[in-house]
Amino acid sequence: MAISPVKIHLFNLFVKICPPSRLNSFKVQLLRWAGAKVGKNVSIFSPRILGQFEFIIGDNCWIGHDALIFGAAGSKIEMKPYSKVASRAIVVTGYHDYGVQYDCIAGPGKCDDIIIGQGALIDTQAMVCPGKTIGEKSHVAAYSVVTHDVPSFVRVAGVPARVIKNFKEQV
């Protein structure tokens, strides 16, 4: 089920005036009321959630201050259990088909789903582009831009994000 645009607008108004680390259970209830599927023990600071998309948040997830979660109509963003979207991170499912044949270089709008794997972290001011999957227990470093799927158990960094560390080697 997609989020209701009117209800998510009311959610955004509430989190804007609410202290970021307060009234968490009420924020979770509001997000469920807006149409999101929200698991147990979820912490929500003060994100901005926009769009009419399917939003699934697993158990024990965390969404930070000023995170921007934007889902185009008909898309889905799923946060698997224990995943985190840090403060000011950007997760967006919408994009355009680009080409000179259109009146504007940015042609028709499109969308692709995003999946954030179990235990993964999208760090501060990182961006996940449409259609990407972040693997289990992977770390997208601060200020990185994810333009390709991220494998499990790695750290990616940079623009575009590239693997800089493999956590499996530590085991």
Q: What burial class does residue 16 get, using C-beta atoms within 10 Å of its C-beta: 0-12 exposed, 13-18 middle, 19+ buried?
A: exposed
**CATH H-level, domain 5-170: superfamily:** Hexapeptide repeat proteins (2.160.10.10)
Position 86, amino acid: A
pLDDT in tens, 114-159: 999 999 999 999 999 999 999 999 999 999 999 999 999 999 999 9
User: pTM higher than 0.85, yes or no?
Assistant: yes
pLDDT in tens, 41-85: 999 999 999 999 999 999 999 999 999 999 999 999 999 999 999
Which of 6-10, 15-19, 26-30, 42-46 has the least mean pLDDT?
Answer: 15-19
Three-class DSSP category at 162: strand
| Domain range summary for the chain, segments of one domain joined by + | 5-170
Residue of 137, 139, 145 whose CA lies nearest to 122 = 139
Degrees to nearest 5, angle at CA 106 with 102 and 107: 50
